[in-house]
Amino acid sequence: MTMSPPSAAVVRGRRTIITTLGVTQIMAWGSSYYLPAVIAPAVALGTGWPLAWVVGGLSLGLLTAGVISPHVGSSIERHGGRNVLAFSAGCIGLGQIGLAVAPNLAAYIIAWLVIGLGMGAGLYDAAFGTLGRLYGHGARSAITTLTLFGGFASTICWPISAFLLGEIGWRGTCLAYAAVQLCLALPLYLVILPRGLPQPAAKAASSRAVTPALQTGSNLTIMIVLAATLTLAAVISSTLSVHLLTILQKGGMTLAAAVGLGVLVGPSQVAARTIEMVIARLHHPIWTKFASVTFVAIGVSALWLGMPIIPLALAFYGAGIGLESIARGTLPLAIFGSNGYAKLMGRLAMPSLIAQAAAPSLGALLLERFGAYGTLATLSGLALVNVALACGLGWLFFSRRDIQVQPQ
């Protein structure tokens, strides 16, 4: 009888794969989502292109990512994540070259559409789907660890981007990131990640006894509520990621003070994710979701009400969005199980990414029409609605009589 070869996931080692994905996530986020915050003013100044369109390239990229995300999830489900993630690195790299050589605004926008393909195939949702495909229910701790890496993306890449911008200009910065994607991330995906899918025995060995999960088609209501709460969380975080400094300045702060307070969000994300990693085995991921939406609601509402302890409000908000990244990957796995998980993540990512693409522009309209106070009031209301959605999701899940909820 012919023995099946050991899974490459086992050969490479779980820690090696997670570390590889963690490092490449930092590079992917830094080369795409976090790049315009640093280079956009220089692009607009150097080319004369409207700043709104320069920044809007990212929104169009996110829209592209949302459109392709269901196909990305299906591909990972069928073939594993190796080639999909390699495709992502190739698209981001080629898109960065396109930005660097863009002779006009149209070429610049097309380059962002190519980067959008890479974002859809390579950011959190695709990485989560890859881990779920490799490790089944045992992917929860891997997903949590991956978000710890991702939490450092802006902290690491913003200073690097600023340094490169000063030394070699925005076009040189884009070429540098292209080299990182094509010469580092792409080979890492191809060398480290396993070919094909893990052997059933290896996948089973990485999982432990778990609570029976719902089938993805068994409760459409739960699917809809889950997608709604994930999308609403993405709208709030995307809006504030772009407009937080402006909101703080409109409240009377100087730019330096706003930046000094704004940086509290990143460490708060990492701190919350670290605590979650330590205690995750003690609770079901649905409690992580409850904590996330509650912290975000407290933080945003405190900013709206004008509480004098703004650092505390930002710390709550940062902790909430930090936990949201974990809940985004672990809660669908815990509710619906590992079968079809990658495909499910692709479907859930579509409305979230499209909403993220629109949120900054809608936030700008809110600021223009209603000012910082009205914008925060709107976001606070959305955050409270999301608390209600999360509670409704919990009620729908816990009311199922065919499951017993235990830590996953």
Per-residue pLDDT of the chain in tens (408 residues, 90 and over written 9)? 444 444 444 446 888 999 999 999 999 998 898 888 788 888 988 999 988 888 888 889 999 999 999 999 889 988 888 999 999 999 999 999 999 999 999 999 999 999 999 999 988 888 988 998 888 878 888 888 888 888 778 778 878 888 898 899 999 999 999 999 999 999 999 999 988 666 554 445 444 444 445 554 457 888 889 999 999 999 998 888 777 777 777 777 776 777 677 677 778 888 888 888 888 788 888 899 999 999 999 999 988 887 678 888 888 998 998 898 888 888 888 888 878 888 888 888 888 888 888 887 788 788 888 888 888 999 999 999 999 999 999 888 877 645 544 455
Distance CA 108, CA 208 (A): 48
CA angle 199, 326, 31 (to 5 degrees): 90
Place of tokens 């710890």: 148
Q: What does pTM read for this prediction?
A: 0.81
* 82 CB-side CA count, 13 A: 17
Alpha helices for 48-136 (secondary structure H): 51-79, 82-101, 105-122, 124-135
CB 27 within 8 A of CB 150: no
89 closest CA partner among 4, 17, 181: 181
CA 260 to chain centre: 24
Those residues whose C-beta lies under 8 Å from the C-beta of residue 300, and which sit 6 or more positions away, are 236, 240, 313, 317, 376, 379, 380, 383
Rounded CA separation 89/96 (Å): 11
The pair of three-digit structure tokens given for residue 14, joined into one six-digit string: 């779980």
Inter-CA distances, 126 with 91, 157, 263, 296, 346, Å: 14, 21, 27, 25, 7
132 in Cβ contact with 346 (< 8 Å): no
What's the full length of the chain, in residues?
Answer: 408
DSSP state of 183: I
Asked if 39 contacts 61 with a C-beta cutoff of 8 angstroms, the reply is no
Asked if 304 and 316 count as a contact pair (C-beta separation under 8 A), the reply is no
Q: What is the CA radius of gyration of the chain?
A: 21
C-alpha to C-alpha distances, 166 to 13, 173, 380, nearest whole angstrom: 40, 9, 38
104 CB-contact burial (10 Å; exposed 0-12 / middle 13-18 / buried 19+): exposed
Cα–Cα distance, 230 to 216 (Å, whole number): 16
CA distance linking residue 81 with residue 17, whole number of Å: 12
Cα–Cα distance, 34 to 150 (Å, whole number) = 12
